[in-house]
Amino acid sequence: MAFDIIGSREKAVAIIDKQEQLEKILKNYKHVKSVLLKLGPRTGKYRKYKLKLIWGDKNTEVIHKEYGYKLKLDPKKVYFSPREANERQRLAKLAKNNEKILVMFSGIAPISIAINKKKNCKITNIEINPDAVKYANENVKLNKLKNIRNILGNVKEVKLRGKFDRIIMPLPETAYKYLDIALKYSKKGTIIHLYGFSDKNIEEKIKKFDNLKLIRKTKVLPYGPWIYKMRYDIKVN
């Protein structure tokens, strides 16, 4: 049975699927100070889990550590997945120094922080959940980074100036519906990293745009029986 532990050696929170997992967590993970039970899948526009505290400290804010950077968050208030740490590293490897990058649906800014810890890029984040933007601003400071700006707003409504070299779209349920907006901020050669589910015919959706060319698709994580969360790398012509 799967569970997630978010935080650090000093203080962590466990997120479990079944009440029966509680005993094992308390026995094996002494740094866990709170246990949250998932009451269902992620829902709503903020893509949060409905979570119930079943053990420990009511304050579930933690500082999660991965790959040499820190991410402050409260899993009750924002989306965050520690399982995507490797994918963040893959994106950081693909980004090139001095690129202008747009991260739509940026959450607490883990992707932008992973990239800017390795590459010197100018990154713009857009996120609709005010709690996530509050943490994103704190996380930029916590990691002593300078070139990340966080915009609170709906990707459909925010108006930006200029074009980007790389656009990251990490909202697998519906990101393909925002491809027209990504195109507004693209130029010839822009790379778009679109996330989606393997059973949703994303390739057909990409083909509808004459100037988009799928250059790579990568399995990110298993999502359900025979379904994967995928990353589609697309070049703008």
Ligand X SMILES: C[S@@+](CC[C@H](N)C(=O)[O-])C[C@H]1O[C@@H](n2cnc3c(N)ncnc32)[C@H](O)[C@@H]1O
Residue ranges binding ligand X (CB under 6 A): 45-47, 79-80, 84, 105-107, 110-111, 126-129, 132, 154-156, 170-171
Q: Find out whether 13 and 6 touch, Cβ atoms under 8 Å.
A: yes
Nearer to ligand X (CB atom), residue 126 or residue 202:
126
Least Å from the CB of residue 194 to ligand X: 13
Tell how strand 100-104 and strand 122-127 pair up.
parallel
Q: Find out whether 57 and 33 touch, Cβ atoms under 8 Å.
A: yes
Largest CA distance in the chain: 56
Nearer to ligand X (CB atom), residue 21 or residue 200:
200
Nearer to ligand X (CB atom), residue 14 or residue 155:
155
Least Å from the CB of residue 41 to ligand X: 12
Nearer to ligand X (CB atom), residue 80 or residue 185:
80
Q: Find out whether 63 and 42 touch, Cβ atoms under 8 Å.
A: no
Residue 155's nearest CA partner among 199, 124, 131 is 124
Least Å from the CB of residue 105 to ligand X: 3
The residue nearest ligand X at its CB is: 107
Nearer to ligand X (CB atom), residue 69 or residue 79:
79
Residue 58's nearest CA partner among 29, 22, 33 is 33
Least Å from the CB of residue 42 to ligand X: 8
Beta bridge partners of 55: 35
Q: How many CA atoms lie within 13 A of 226 on its CB side?
A: 2
* Pairwise CA distance, residues 165 & 96, whole Å: 9
Least Å from the CB of residue 152 to ligand X: 9
